[in-house]
C-alpha cells in the first residue's frame, strides 16, 4: 500500500526540501480532446484517461496526486463526480512505486453548499485521510466560510489553501499576500500558498512574503505561462519544461515546501522540476 494520508505527507515537509506535486489535470484532459465543459465529468465518462494522466505524473516523480475535482458544479452530480475523482486518484496512488498522498481539490465557494456530501465522501469513502486543497481562491470571506465549515465537519482532516494573486501580490478582493497568510494561519490551516497567477514573478514574490510571514508549509503551483488562443478557440500553454524547472528551482530557494504546476503544466514540466530539485539535493 503506497497511498499515505495527508498527515503523513505533512510530516515529511521540510525533511528533505520541497515535496513535488503534480501538474494540471484539466488542461491535460483538454489537450487529449476533452471539451472544457466535459473535463469534470471525465471522472465518470473517461476514467481511464484521468487515471492515465495521474499515472503519467507518478512516472515523473510526483509525491502528490491532485484529484480532478476542481470546478465541479454544485448540485446534482457533484458528489458522484467528486467521489469518482477521489477513487481514481487513490487507485493510482495505491499502485505507485513510492508513497503518495492524495490532494482532494475543492472550489472554496462549493464547500458550504456541498458540506454534507463532502463530509460523507471523506469520512465514509476515502481509504485514507487526504489533504484537502482549496485552490485558486480569490476572496477571503469565501475562504473563511469554507474553512469554518471544514473545521466543524471534518476537524481531523488536514487542509491547504492556495490563492490566486495579481501581479501586485494582492488577491482579487484586495487582500495582500502577507495579510492572507496571517489570516489563513489564524484560521488553522495546515499549509497555504499560491497557484495560477499571471506571472512567475508574482508567484516568487508571494512565496517569499508568505514564507517570511508565517511558520507554515508554503505551497507554490505556478502556470506554464499564459495561454495563447488558437484560431479554433483552443488554448495552448507554451512554456518549455526547462523554463518551468528554473521556476521550480527559484521557488525552492525562496522557501516553498510543496512545488507543482497549475494551468498548462504537463508531466514534462514536472519531470523537469523533479530533475532540478534532485540536483539541489532536495528529492
Ligand atoms: Zn491554473
Q: Tell me the mean pLDDT per 10 residues along the chain, length 283.
A: 94 89 96 90 96 98 96 81 97 96 96 96 96 97 98 98 97 98 98 95 98 98 94 90 97 96 97 92 59
Query: Residue by residue, what is the 3-state secondary structure of 175-218?
Result: CEHHHHHHHHHHHCCCEEEEECCCCHHHHHHHHHHHHHHCCCCE
Which pLDDT does position 138 carry in this prediction? 97
Measure 8 CA to ligand 1 centroid, in angstroms: 26
- Ligand 1 centroid–CA 203 distance in Å is 12
**151 C-alpha to center of ligand 1: Å?**
26
Q: Determine the distance separating the centroid of ligand 1 and the alpha carbon of 222, expressed in angstroms.
A: 7
CA of 96 to the centre of ligand 1 (A): 25
Q: How far is the CA of 129 from the centre of ligand 1 (A)?
A: 25
Distance between Cα 136 and ligand 1 center (Å): 7
Predicted TM-score of the model (pTM): 0.96
User: Measuring CA to CA, how many Å separate 118 from each of 69, 132, 278?
Assistant: 12, 10, 36
How many angstroms does the Cα of residue 195 sit away from the middle of ligand 1? 6
How far does residue 275's CA lie from ligand 1's centre (Å)? 22
For residue 71, what pLDDT is reported? 78
Residue 283 confidence (pLDDT): 55
Domains of the chain: 3-279 (3.20.20.330)
CA of 10 to the centre of ligand 1 (A): 23
Residue 56 DSSP SS3: helix
pLDDT at 74: 75
**CA 223 / ligand 1 centre spacing (Å):** 6
> What three-state secondary structure class fits 60?
coil
Amino acid at each position: 500500500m503506497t497511498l499515505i494520508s495527508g498527515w503523513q505527507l505533512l510530516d515529511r515537509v521540510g525533511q528533505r526540501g520541497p515535496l513535488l506535486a503534480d501538474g494540471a489535470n484539466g488542461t491535460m484532459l483538454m489537450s487529449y480532446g476533452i471539451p472544457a465543459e466535459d473535463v469534470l465529468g471525465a471522472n465518470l465518462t473517461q476514467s481511464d484517461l484521468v487515471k492515465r494522466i495521474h499515472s503519467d505524473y507518478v512516472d515523473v516523480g510526483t509525491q502528490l496526486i491532485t484529484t480532478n475535482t476542481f470546478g465541479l458544479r454544485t448540485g446534482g452530480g457533484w458528489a458522484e463526480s467528486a467521489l469518482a475523482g477521489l477513487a481514481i486518484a487513490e487507485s493510482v496512488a495505491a499502485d505507485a512505486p513510492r508513497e503518495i498522498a492524495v490532494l482532494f481539490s475543492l472550489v472554496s465557494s462549493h464547500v458550504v453548499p456541498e458540506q454534507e456530501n463532502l463530509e460523507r465522501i471523506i469520512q465514509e469513502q476515502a481509504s485514507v485521510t487526504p489533504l484537502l486543497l482549496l485552490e485558486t481562491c480569490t476572496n477571503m470571506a469565501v475562504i473563511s466560510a469554507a474553512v469554518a465549515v471544514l473545521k466543524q465537519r471534518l476537524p481531523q482532516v488536514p487542509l491547504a489553501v492556495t490563492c490566486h494573486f495579481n501581479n501586485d501580490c494582492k488577491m482579487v478582493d484586495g487582500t495582500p499576500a502577507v495579510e492572507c497568510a496571517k489570516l489563513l494561519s489564524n484560521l488553522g490551516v495546515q499549509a497555504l500558498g499560491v497557484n495560477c497567477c499571471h506571472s512567475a514573478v508574482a508567484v516568487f514574490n508571494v512565496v517569499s512574503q508568505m514564507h517570511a510571514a508565517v511558520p507554515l508549509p508554503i505551497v507554490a503551483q505556478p502556470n506554464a505561462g499564459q495561454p495563447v488562443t488558437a484560431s479554433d478557440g483552443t488554448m495552448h500553454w507554451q512554456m518549455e519544461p526547462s523554463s518551468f524547472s528554473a521556476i521550480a528551482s527559484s521557488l525552492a530557494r525562496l522557501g516553498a515546501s510543496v512545488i507543482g504546476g497549475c494551468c498548462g503544466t504537463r508531466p514534462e514540466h514536472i519531470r523537469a522540476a523533479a530533475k532540478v530539485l534532485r540536483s539541489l539535493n532536495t528529492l
